[in-house]
Amino acid sequence: MRVLHVIPAVGPSYGGPSRAIVGMTESLAARGLNVEVATTDRDGSARLRVRLGEAVRRGSVLYHFFRAVPSGEWKLSFSLAQWLRENAAGYDLVHVHGLFSFSTIPACRTARACGIPYVLRPIGTLLPASLRVRSWKKRPYLALVERTHLESAAAIHVTSPREEEAVRALGFGDRTRLIPLGVETPAIHREAERDAAATIRFLFVGRLHPIQQLPLLIEAFALAARSGSANVELVIVGGGHPAYRRELEDVASTFGVGRRVHFTGEVSQSATHELLAAADVFVLSLRTDNVGHLAAKALGAGLPVIVTEDVGVAQYITSAQAGRVVPASASALAGAIRELAEDAPLRARLSANARRLAVERYSWSRSADALIAVYEDLLDAHWGRQPLAGAS
C-alpha cells in the first residue's frame, strides 16, 4: 500500500504535529507500508535546511520538501501544489493533516480529482476553543473552503473524544475515526524511595506560548508553594520568543517564586528524557489541547500528571487514575500541586497507573494497526476489492 501524508510543515518550532508525523509514518512503514510525506520547508520564521523538490529519506520514510512563501501562517507553496497535481495519482491513499493551511487545498482537491480516497486529520482545529481564535476569519473560511474538504473526505481522523464531539457537532460524525496518536515510552529509571525532605520537582514541557497559560501555572505554583508543607520547584522546558520568556520570568518574580521557577529553554530529546526522569509530577495548564501529546509523553515516562479539563487525555487520566484533572483556575491547579507534593505514596500509585495507561493506549504500534485497518476498509469500499496486502 502506497500512502502519501501531506502536512503544512514539520519544523521543530511547530511542536506536537511535527513530532507526531514522524512517529505515525515510521510506525506505518514498520508495518510494511510504502509511506511518503509532502510538506514545506517552513520552521516558524526560519527555514529547514533541506533539499527542495526531491525525495529525501529520513529513517524509513521519504520526504518531499517544497519552498513556502517567506511569511504567513498559511504556508503558501506553489511548488507543492504543482507536485501534488503531477504525482498524487501514483498513491493508493492520501492522509491530509491540518485545516486552515494552504497544503490542505491542493491535497484534498487533487486526491478527489484523481479518484483517490483521502483521510483528513483536523489536528484540533475544529475544537470550539480553537475556532474562537480569530473566528472572524476562521468561520467564513470553514464555510467556504474547508467544509467541502470535510464533506469529500473518506474519513476524518480524530485523536481524542473531545475532537470527535466537535466534528460530530459540525455534522460529520458518520465518518470520524477515533485513533489516538502514539508517544515514545522510554524506559526511565526512577528512585523507589526519596528523602522526605527532598525537593518535589514539577515539570512543564512545551512551547512558551500564551496558549499554554503559563502565567496561570506560575500563579498556581506560587499559591501551592506558600500554603504547602513540601519543598517544591517548577521546571519549565521549551523555547519561545525571548520577550515572552522575560515576561514569564517577571511573573514568577512578582509572585515571589523567582528562585523556585527554572527556565531551561529548548533542550534536546535526550535532555528531555533526563528531565522527565528527574521530575516527580508533570503539569499542563493549556487553554485547549486536542491531543494532549505532551501529557501523554509524560505518562509514557511514568510521571503522574496534572492537566486542565480541556486537555485531550483528560478523561483517560481520570479513568486510569494516572493523575489529576482540574479546572483551569489558579486555586484548582494549586490544590492539585499541593496534594501531589505532600503525598509520596499517592505519587507512586499514580506513576504506575500512568505508565500502564501510556503503554495500553498511546503506543505507536497500536495507533499504526488502527490506521492500517481504516486505510484498508476505505480502499475496499472505494474500489470494491479485498483489503490490500502489505500490512503485517
pLDDT reported for residue 188: 61
Q: What is the C-alpha to C-alpha distance for residues 201 and 230, in angstroms, rounded to an integer?
A: 10
> In which band, very low, low, confident or very high, does the pLDDT at 113 lie, cut at 50, 70 and 90?
very high
Q: What is the C-alpha to C-alpha distance for residues 64 and 35, in angstroms, rounded to an integer?
A: 11
> In which band, very low, low, confident or very high, does the pLDDT at 196 lie, cut at 50, 70 and 90?
low
Biggest distance spanned by C-alpha atoms of the chain: 66
Tallying the residues shown for the chain, one arrives at 392
Residues 305, 161: one domain? Answer: no
pLDDT reported for residue 273: 84
Residues 248, 339: one domain? Answer: yes
Q: Is residue 342 part of a domain?
A: yes
Residues 284, 135: one domain? Answer: no
Q: Is residue 293 part of a domain?
A: yes
Q: What is the C-alpha to C-alpha distance for residues 236 and 205, in angstroms, rounded to an integer?
A: 6
Task: Tell me what percent of the residues of the chain surpass a pLDDT of 90.
Answer: 68
Q: Is residue 193 part of a domain?
A: no
CA atoms within a 13 Å half-sphere pointing along the CA-CB vector of 212? 23
Non-local CB neighbours of 380 within 8 Å, separated by 6+ positions: 386, 387
Q: What is the C-alpha to C-alpha distance for residues 76 and 27, in angstroms, rounded to an integer?
A: 29
The grid cell for 194 is 526519596
Q: Domain with 356 in it: what CATH number? A: 3.40.50.2000
Q: If you average pLDDT over residues 35-39, what whole number do you get?
A: 98
State which residues form the domain around 344.
200-361
Residues 51, 163: one domain? Answer: yes
CA dist 377 → 154, 156, 290 (Å): 10, 13, 25
> In which band, very low, low, confident or very high, does the pLDDT at 211 lie, cut at 50, 70 and 90?
confident
Is the pLDDT reported for residue 72 higher than 80? no
Q: Is residue 195 part of a domain?
A: no
Residues 378, 279: one domain? Answer: no
Residues 240, 210: one domain? Answer: yes
> In which band, very low, low, confident or very high, does the pLDDT at 387 lie, cut at 50, 70 and 90?
very low
Question: Count of domains in the chain?
Answer: 2
Q: Is residue 118 part of a domain?
A: yes
Residues 354, 377: one domain? Answer: no
Q: What is the pTM of this model?
A: 0.79
Residues 123, 248: one domain? Answer: no
Non-local CB neighbours of 182 within 8 Å, separated by 6+ positions: 23, 24, 27, 362, 363, 364, 365, 366, 367, 368
Q: Is residue 268 part of a domain?
A: yes
> In which band, very low, low, confident or very high, does the pLDDT at 197 lie, cut at 50, 70 and 90?
low
**107 in Cβ contact with 96 (< 8 Å):** yes
Residues 173, 205: one domain? Answer: no
Q: What is the C-alpha to C-alpha distance for residues 6 and 28, in angstroms, rounded to an integer?
A: 15
Residues 353, 375: one domain? Answer: no
Q: Is residue 189 part of a domain?
A: no
Among 188-197, 207-216, 264-273, 327-336, which range has the highest average pLDDT?
327-336
pLDDT reported for residue 389: 40
Q: What is the pLDDT of residues 239-296, one digit of tens each?
A: 889 999 999 999 999 999 999 999 999 888 788 888 998 999 999 887 655 556 778 7
Q: If you average pLDDT over residues 136-155, what whole number do you get?
A: 96
Is the pLDDT reported for residue 91 higher than 60? yes
> In which band, very low, low, confident or very high, does the pLDDT at 166 lie, cut at 50, 70 and 90?
very high
Q: If you average pLDDT over residues 28-53, what whole number do you get?
A: 95
The residue ranking higher by pLDDT, 26 or 197, is: 26
Residues 300, 171: one domain? Answer: no
Q: Is residue 336 part of a domain?
A: yes
Q: How many Cβ atoms sit within 10 Å of the Cβ of residue 67? A: 16
Is the pLDDT reported for residue 390 higher than 60? no
For the chain, give the mean pLDDT: 90
